[in-house]
Structure 1
Amino acid sequence: MNILVTGGAGFIGRWVVKRLTEDNHNIWILDNLANSSIDNIKDLQFNYPNITFIEGSIMDTNLLETLFINKFDICYHLAASINVQDSIDDPKTTFENDVIGTFNVLQQCKINNTKFVYMSTCMVYSKALNIEGISESHPTCPASPYAAAKLAGENLALSYYYAYGLPTTVLRPFNTYGPYQKQNSEGGVISIFIDKKLMNKPLAIYGDGKQTRDFLYVTDCADFVVEAGYSEKTNGKIVNAGSGVDISITELAKTIAGETGTIKYVTHIHPQSEIQKLLCDSRYSKKILGWSPKVSLVEGISKTEEFLRTQL
């Protein structure tokens, strides 16, 4: 197939592209490199000649129109402003990228009858209320402009399914981590913690550390994203992906730091947007896709640390 991946040079996008190359598709990556790096895909470009990279923005409607001449079968839309604090400080940029940018891509998908797979986030949910976790019907609570913009993008995507019959799918993966994730404040907590450990610095926990997260290793996430795009069963649907197990940030820090590491607690930078308990109920994704994660948290942390050691 001919496949477009917006944000394909980003952390998750890179792994989605890798999985697609293994399935021998022709892949176009559109990325403005604002929150990603060409280094993330250099090995893929070297090994797979069927990748075309375009540096550009989903805000550029002329570029999108030209790009869609390639008649894509599927568009995996991962391009977005993803940082919660940035969305609080500058909601306009997040709104423009995550809502108007999504609209721009959707319009081209409609014109060209391209399946649209929208990467949303577990951040749209309110906290888990029971031991079974958060299912797709769980209440949403946009506690940041980022979450609100993602919800708006979801509704746009689904409206194109109902209004125009365009095959669209909304994905809500939980806290994804692994190699190529940033280790600065915009990265994931696991990568940040491992980076601090490798530099013999304290692992800083925002707030009291009792908040929990459901962590999903990035190759499992990429498999989920790709398979959701392949399947007709996901059309017009919202689908979760997670491990089904949550861990407190304090326990996570202890696991990564080991006996020799140190942990400190610091003032939360955006407590109003903190979701206290994130636990995924991903039974639906297993039912319609046959998908379930393969990599345990302990194994995933080990793989991520091994990768980060090579970056020192």
Structure 2
Amino acid sequence: MNILLTGGAGFIGRWVTKRLLDDGHQVWVLDDFSNGSRENVQEFQQHRGFKEMVVGDIKDESLLTRLFASHSFDICYHLGASINVQDSIDDPRTTFNNDTVGTFNIMEQCRKHQVKVVFMSTCMVYDRCTDEEGITELHPTKPASPYAGSKIAAENMVLSYYYAYNLPVVVIRPFNTYGPFQKTGGEGGVVAIFINNKLAGKDLNIYGEGTQTRDLLYVDDCARFVVEAGYSDSVNGHIVNAGLGRDISVNDLAKLVVGDASRIKHVPHIHPQSEIQKLLCNYSKAKDLLGWEPKVTLEEGISRTEEWIRTGYLI
């Protein structure tokens, strides 16, 4: 198939690019490198299925018009977005324009050209988990940050194109994804930051009390979920979760990573109002509709990620 992947030079996007190429598709990546980097897709540039690295912005309607008119896309995997919670609190306009208005621009092109849309949302749209069954797609949402609010707005717009225009769409909500190629600095994920600090001999800083829990999904499992959501008609018109189905407190995660409690420090929370105290995924819908379930345990995923960081980002 001919596939457009927005945000394909980002962390998860890099793994989705790899899987689509491995599956034999022709892939066009659209990215402005605001979150991603050219290095993430460098290894694919010579692949015969990698058609073009389009450097551009999803808010650029003339670029999108030319791109969709020039290629007959079968699927658009829309991962391009502003993804940082704190950035959205500091500058909500940028996040809204990228995540909501940008998504509208993509939807309009996909409507005109009858292209299926896989829209990458986030578990951050949910209210805290209240039981051990985990968060299903029917769980209440709570936009505790402008990032979550922008994603919920975009989700609803994406689904409206399914109902109003019969356009095949699916909204996917992966839980906290981690693994090789994730940034290890301030904008990275908690696993990558903890491992990087461990290897650098630094303390592991935890915001707040550290009792908040996360459901951590290894990136290769996440990419497999993303890609298969595009292949299947069974999820059209649906919202679908993906996660490990196991949560861990940030305190216990830090101990798992570093092993030495004396290197773990607690610091004041920078955005306590946007913290979700408990995140635990119920992925039974993905299992029922896609036959998907995670394959990589948390311990194995952490080991793979540490090996990647330790060896200087070679994989």
1:46, CA displacement in angstroms?
3.1
What are the equivalent positions in structure 2 for 1:223-242 lying under 5 Å apart?
Answer: 223-242=224-243
Name the amino acid aligned to 1:6: T
Partner of 1:207: 208
- The yes-or-no answer on 1:40 pairing with 2:50 is no
Partner of 1:117: 118
Q: Is this contact kept in 1: 2:24–2:49, CA < 8 A?
A: no
CA RMSD of aligned residues (A): 1.0
1:259, CA displacement in angstroms?
3.3
Partner of 1:141: 142
- SS of the residue corresponding to residue 110 of structure 1 reads helix
User: TM-score scaled by structure 2?
Assistant: 0.97
Name the amino acid aligned to 1:225: V
Q: After the TM superposition, which of the residue ranges 45-54 and 21-30 deviates more from structure 2? A: 45-54
What are the equivalent positions in structure 2 for 1:161-240 lying under 5 Å apart?
Answer: 161-240=162-241
Q: Is this contact kept in 2: 1:200–1:261, CA < 8 A?
A: no
- The yes-or-no answer on 1:55 pairing with 2:19 is no
1:159, CA displacement in angstroms?
0.2
Question: How many residues end up aligned between the 2 structures?
Answer: 312
What are the equivalent positions in structure 2 for 1:74-89 lying under 5 Å apart?
Answer: 74-89=75-90
Q: Deviations over 1:197-225 (max 9, x none)?
A: 01000000000000000000000000000
Name the amino acid aligned to 1:29: V
- Listed as ranges, the gaps of 5+ residues in structure 2 are none
Q: Deviations over 1:255-303 (max 9, x none)?
A: 0001386110000010000000000000000000000000000000000
Partner of 1:131: 132
- SS of the residue corresponding to residue 233 of structure 1 reads coil
Runs of 4+ deviating beyond 6 Å: none
Partner of 1:105: 106
Distance between the aligned counterparts of 1:261 and 1:185, measured in 2? 22
Name the amino acid aligned to 2:282: D
Distance between the aligned counterparts of 1:203 and 1:155, measured in 2? 38
Q: After the TM superposition, which of the residue ranges 41-50 and 82-91 deviates more from structure 2? A: 41-50
Q: Is this contact kept in 2: 1:197–1:261, CA < 8 A?
A: no
Q: Is this contact kept in 1: 2:255–2:261, CA < 8 A?
A: no
Identity of aligned residues (%): 61
- SS of the residue corresponding to residue 45 of structure 2 reads helix
Name the amino acid aligned to 1:94: T
Distance between the aligned counterparts of 2:8 and 2:131, measured in 1? 35
Q: Deviations over 1:115-159 (max 9, x none)?
A: 011000000000001110100000000000000000001000000
User: TM-score scaled by structure 1?
Assistant: 0.98
Partner of 1:9: 9
Name the amino acid aligned to 1:242: G
Distance between the aligned counterparts of 1:249 and 1:128, measured in 2? 15
1:45, CA displacement in angstroms?
1.7
